[in-house]
Amino acid sequence: MSQEKTENTEIKEETLGNGNSACQKKDSKKETSDKKESKKEKKEREKIEALEKTVGELTDKIAKDKDDYIRLMAEFDNFRRRTSQEKLELVNVAAEDTIKGLLPILDDCERAMSALRESEDTSAAKEGTELIYNKLTGYLKSKGLAAIEAKGTAFDTDIHEAVAQFPVEDEAMKGKVYDVIQTGYTLNGKVIRFAKVVVGI
Share of the chain above pLDDT 70, in %: 81
Alpha-helix residue ranges (DSSP H) falling in 119-153: 123-142
Taking alpha carbons only, the member of 168, 188, 169, 186 closest to residue 178 is 168
Instruction: Band the pLDDT of 16: cuts 50, 70, 90.
Output: very low
| Same domain for 198 and 163 | yes
Smallest Cα–Cα separation from 174: which of 164, 165, 161, 182? 165
Question: Greater confidence, 186 or 124?
Answer: 186
- Rounded to the nearest integer, the mean pLDDT of the chain is 83
Which residue has better confidence, 170 or 15? Answer: 170
**Helical (H) or strand (E) element with 161:** strand 160-166
165 in the same domain as 106: no
Q: Is 3 inside any structural domain?
A: no
Identify the CATH number of the domain in which residue 54 sits: 3.90.20.20
State which amino acid sits at residue 141: K
Same domain, 116 and 185: no
The last residue of one of the domains, among 120, 143, 166, is 143
**Sign of dihedral through CA atoms 77, 82, 87, 92?**
positive
Q: Say if residue 147's pLDDT is above 90.
A: yes
Q: Give me the pLDDT at residue 31, please.
A: 58
8 assigned to some structural domain? no
- What's the rounded Cα separation, in Å, for the pair 183 and 194? 8
Which residues span the domain enclosing 129?
41-143
